[in-house]
Chains A and B, each alone.
Chain A
Amino acid sequence: MDFQITPLFYSNIFSAGLAFSIAWLMLRSFRVVRRDYLLGFPIGFSFLALSYLFLAVSTAFPSVSEVGRWSDLFSTTYGFAFIAGTYLLRRRAAAGPFSRWLFSLAILAILVIVLVEVVPPLGALPPYGVAAQVFLIVNLCLLSYIIFSLNQALKQSPHEVNFLVQTGFILLAFGQYSLLVWTLDQGFWSFALANLFRLAGLVGLLIEAATAVTGLHHG
Chain B
Amino acid sequence: MIILSTARKQKRPRPRYRPKIFYDILCSIIKQEASGDIARITRVQNEVNLPSDRFRTHLEDMEALGLIKHGEGLTSTEKGRAFVSEYEKVAEVLRRFGLD
Contacts and interface: CB of A to CB of B under 8 A. Distances in A.
The answer on A and B forming one complex is yes
Interface of A: 25-26, 28-29, 32-35, 38, 41, 86-87, 90, 93-94, 149-150, 152-154, 157, 160-162, 165, 208-209, 212-215
Interface stretch (B55-63, B68-76, B92-100): B92-100
The prevalent SS among residues of B at the interface is helix
Nearest to A214: B89
Interface of B: 14-15, 17-20, 83, 86-87, 89-100
A150 B98 contact: yes
Nearest to B88: A215
A162 B98 CA distance: 8
Contacts of B83: 32
Nearest to B95: A160
A161 B98 contact: yes
Please classify the interface of chain A as helix (H, G, I), strand (E, B), loop, or mixed, using the class held by over half of its residues.
Answer: helix
A32 B99 contact: no
Contacts of B95: 157, 160-161
A165 B98 contact: yes
The residue among A26, A32, A38 with the most chain B CB atoms within 10 A of its own CB is: A32
A212 B98 contact: no
A165 to B, nearest CB: 5
Contact of A38 (B86, B89, B96, B99): B99
Contacts of A150: 97-98
Given A32-B86, A33-B17, A33-B19, A161 B93 contact: no
A209 B87 CA distance: 14
